[in-house]
Structure 1
Amino acid sequence: MEKLRPVRTWLSDMDGVLVHEEEAIPGAAEFVRRLRERGRPFLLLTNNSIFTARDLQARLSRSGIDVPEESIWTSALATAQFLDKQRPGGTAYVIGEAGLTTAMHSIGYVLTDRDPEYVVLGETRTYSFEAITTAIRLIEAGARFIATNPDPTGPSQQGSIPATGSVAALITRATGVEPYFVGKPNPLMMRSALNRIDAHSETTVMVGDRMDTDMVSGLEAGLRTILVLTGSTRPDQVERFPYRPTHVRDSVADLVELVDAWDDVDESVMDL
């Protein structure tokens, strides 16, 4: 038996793990409820920068999943925190929706299209060609280029839609300037999440549905990882990657028993 460290804290992706759009994935509510009953600190991470944490809390509640607002960490919040540490009280031209603009205002940034220090690209369902053109011209004029996350596509009920990574690629092609992506798989977002709940990487597990963001970000942050097969990554795709998750499970429903097992087994000898 492999001796492993105890699991005291949990990080989990949202879309593809707990919900599909507005529909809860079977077992998601039970998983979150068990974490709360056991008193295990947890944080839900999402690269989606459209919504505020309060919006997402309401969305999850409508799906039957009870999560406190403070237990949600978005790429928009991580981006704002990063910029606040880099250049407090700065200026930015922002392409995005309420999740990103609210986060930027909360750190005291001025949102402007007149000689901003940064162009900050987030996700929106209605990308404007005029806004993208403005971003290109501002970057050409010297603005630093930041993007909330590298995801090329996002889910919708009709299928995949272009996301932040795709629009960032368009801007890069036009300007020759690569953005700095703050969200997953950047370990920066993982470390900010760990700090938010006072967690240690050696005793934390990351649950996700994407090999190219969730699993690699957990791996690079020193976390154990669990891939669930209810989202973006299909079972036949797992072996194509040069890295592997610690474990693969069919869905979040399979994790309820793990929460109990890790609490009931002696902390000095644990096996996932």
Structure 2
Amino acid sequence: MADSKPVESWLTDMDGVLVHEGTIVPGADEFINRLRASGKPFLVLTNNSIYTPRDLHARLAGIGLDVPEEAIWTSALATAKFLHGQRPGGTAYVIGEAGLTTALHQVGYILTDSSPDYVVLGETRSYSFEALTKAIRLINAGARFICTNPDETGPSPEGVLPAAGSVAALITKATGVEPYFVGKPNPLMMREALNALNAHSESTVMIGDRMDTDIKSGMEAGLRTVLVLSGLTQQSEVERYPYRPSRVAKSVAELIDEI
């Protein structure tokens, strides 16, 4: 990355980069503190749509990581911005938690199960058969199908959990309709984050722990990318992919002195 333009802004994934299984990745607190002190714009990105930025700020603060609310960019926010741009003041039937419903309310969307413009699927820990049946029938009746992210599983201290991508597959199987996924690896989420920072791709770095989401979407958005080995992707797996990160680091601790 030394041959490129100076880094003026940073994007970083959250799970696997800053936190891992509910604890801070060593050096992540110093990394965030250095970013804040530098004055350079940055955003922490997450495909998780359950929580609002305020919720995530409080949860991160609880483990000792001070990330400002305005520096958190979720797939729920990206989904709401996308829908507002496509159909301002529209209607949606939502399966999800407060992070998603709040984001949609903030852009003026009405949540309804009566002939909505969209069925919007996000993460939740309480998927119900009744809600899924309703979503399937609304899609069959003509509602457009949106999903916040394609992740098939998510982490938890007890093991993997089914995530939005798995539930979306169930709905697709029942309707024959594929959703439009807004979150990573869709580079749209990166471009919206750049717009939020008023940043340029050629002077922005994306840090992530997954080749198939973080690095792919960063690369497709024209960003320099850093794969950290503190999360899901291991060094031995990097060569399996047809694309490469700009750099591989053990963790964000290696990047502190470059801010």
Q: Which residue of 2 aligns with 1:262?
A: none
1:13 aligned partner, one-letter code: D
Distance 1:153 1:133 in 2: 21
The 2-side partners of 1:190 and 1:3 are apart by: 23
SS of aligned partner of 1:89: coil
Q: Which residue does the alignment assign to 2:146?
A: 146
Q: 1:107: how far off? A: 1.1
Which deviates more from structure 2 when the two are superposed, residues 245-254 or residues 199-208? 245-254
Q: In structure 1, what is the equivalent of residue 50 of structure 2?
A: 50
Tell whether the 8 Å contact from 1:53 to 1:73 is kept in structure 2 after alignment.
Answer: yes
Cα distance, 1:22 vs. partner?
2.5
Question: Counterparts in 2 of 1:145-224, with a 5 A limit?
Answer: 145-224=145-224
Deviation track 1:31-80 (CA, whole Å, cap 9, x = no partner) reads 00111111111000100000000001111111111111110000000000
Q: Using the alignment, how far apart are the partners of 1:121 and 1:21 within structure 2? A: 24
Instruction: Provide the C-alpha distance between the structure 2 equivalents of 1:112 and 1:21, rounded to a whole number of angstroms.
Output: 35
Secondary structure at the counterpart of residue 11 of structure 1: strand
Residues 3-82 of structure 1: matches in 2 within 5 Å? 3-82=3-82
Q: CA deviation at 1:21?
A: 3.7
Alignment-derived partner of residue 83 in structure 2: 83
Query: 1:182 Cα shift?
Result: 0.6
The answer (yes or no) to whether the contact 1:22–1:59 under 8 Å persists in 2 is no
Q: Please state whether the residue corresponding to 2:100 is helix, strand or coil.
A: helix
Mapped to 2, the partners of 1:232 and 1:149 lie a distance apart of 17
Q: Structure 1 residue 126 and structure 2 residue 126: aligned? A: yes
Per the TM alignment, residue 2 of structure 1 is displaced from its structure 2 partner at its CA by 6.2
In 1, Cα distance between equivalents of 2:21 and 2:135: 29
The farther-off stretch of 179-188 and 230-239 is 230-239
Give me the identity figure in percent: 71
Give distance in 1, aligned partners of 2:2 and 2:25: 31
Deviation at 1:258, TM superposition (A): 2.2
Tell me the matched-pair count.
Answer: 259
Tell me the equivalent position of 2:96. Answer: 96
Query: In structure 2, what residue type is equivalent to 1:73?
Result: W
Q: Distance in 2 between matches of 1:16 and 1:167?
A: 23
How many angstroms does 1:16 deviate by? 0.6
TM-score of the aligned structures, taking structure 1 as reference length: 0.93
TM-score by length of 2: 0.98
Which residue pairs with 1:250 in the alignment?
250
Task: Give deviations 1:110-136, integer Å, cap 9, x for gaps.
Answer: 111111110000001111121111111
Letter in 2 for 1:46: T
Which residue matches 1:264?
Answer: none
Q: Distance in 1 between matches of 2:127 and 2:211?
A: 27
Partner SS for 1:101: helix
Distance 2:29 2:57 in 1: 13
Residue range with higher mean Cα deviation, 60-69 or 143-152: 60-69
The amino acid that maps onto 2:93 is Y
In structure 2, stretches of 5+ residues that fail to align are none
Deviations 1:135-188 (A, max 9, x none): 111100100000000111100001111101111111111111000001111111
CA contact (8 A) 1:148 1:164 kept: yes
Task: Give the conservation status (yes or no) of the 8 Å contact 1:202–1:223.
Answer: yes
